[in-house]
Amino acid sequence: MSAVEIIVENVRSFFGRHEIPLRQITLLVGENSTGKSTFLATIAALASPERYPERPAFNEPPFNLGSYETIASRRPEHRRAEETFAIGFRRQVRDGLLVSVATYRGRSGQVEMAEFEASSPRGTLRLQRHQDFMVGRAQIVSSDAAPVTLQFGGSVPGQEMESRLPSIYYLVQNAKLVGGDTPPSEEASKHIPDVVNLWADMVNPRLQAVPLAPIRSKPSRVYEQLDTPFRPEGDHIPIRLARILRRGSRQRERRTELSQALDTFGQESGLFSHVEVRKLSPSPTAPFEILVTVGAQRVNIADVGYGVSQVLPVVAESVLAAHGTLLLQQPEVHLHPKAQAALGTFLCGIAVQSRIVVETHSDFLIDRIRQEVASGRVSPTKVLILYFERSEAGTQVHPIHLDSEGNLVDAPLSYRDFFMEEELRLLSRGSQ
Query: Alpha-carbon Rg of the chain, whole angstroms?
Result: 25
d(CA 222, CA 178): 65
The b-or-e profile of 331-370 (16+ CB within 10 A means b, else e) is bbbebeeebbbbbbbbbbbbbeebbbbbbbbbebbbebbb
Q: Which amino acid is at 169?
A: Y
> 3, 96 in Cβ contact below 8 A?
no
Which residues, at least 6 apart from 42, have a Cβ–Cβ distance to it below 8 Å?
6, 8, 11, 87
Is it the case that residue 161 has pLDDT exceeding 50? no
d(CA 50, CA 166): 8
At residue 27, the pLDDT reads: 97
At residue 160, the pLDDT reads: 44
**What mean pLDDT comes out for the span 127-140?**
92
pLDDT band for position 163 (cuts 50, 70, 90): very low
Domains along the sequence of the chain with CATH: 1-121+323-432 (3.40.50), 215-321 (no CATH)
Which residues, at least 6 apart from 50, have a Cβ–Cβ distance to it below 8 Å?
none
Give the DSSP H or E segment for 11.
strand 4-11
Cα 268-272-276 angle, rounded to 5 deg: 125
Beta bridge partners of 258: none
At residue 181, the pLDDT reads: 46
- For 90-107, the pLDDT digits (tens) are 999 888 999 999 999 999
68: three-class secondary structure by DSSP = helix
d(CA 319, CA 313): 10
The b-or-e profile of 134-170 (16+ CB within 10 A means b, else e) is bebbbbbbeeeeeebbbbbbeebeeeeeeeeebbbeb
d(CA 366, CA 101): 32
- For 16-73, the pLDDT digits (tens) are 999 999 999 999 999 999 999 999 999 999 999 889 999 999 999 999 999 999 999 9
d(CA 403, CA 386): 15
d(CA 184, CA 177): 5
| Closest listed residue to residue 327, CA positions, set 360, 369, 349, 363 | 360
CB count in 10 Å sphere of residue 57: 17
> Left, alpha or beta for 131 (phi > 0: left; psi -120 to 50: alpha)?
left
At residue 132, the pLDDT reads: 84
279: three-class secondary structure by DSSP = strand
d(CA 230, CA 240): 10
Is it the case that residue 278 has pLDDT exceeding 50? yes
Is it the case that residue 264 has pLDDT exceeding 50? yes
Q: Which amino acid is at 293?
A: T
d(CA 252, CA 261): 14
Which residues, at least 6 apart from 69, have a Cβ–Cβ distance to it below 8 Å?
81, 106, 109
Q: What is the pTM of this model?
A: 0.92
- For 192-232, the pLDDT digits (tens) are 888 999 999 999 998 889 999 999 999 999 999 888 889 99
Asked which of 226-230, 333-337, 358-362 is least confident by mean pLDDT, the reply is: 226-230
Cα–Cα distances in angstroms (integers) from residue 213 to residues 18, 20, 69, 318, in the given order: 25, 22, 24, 13
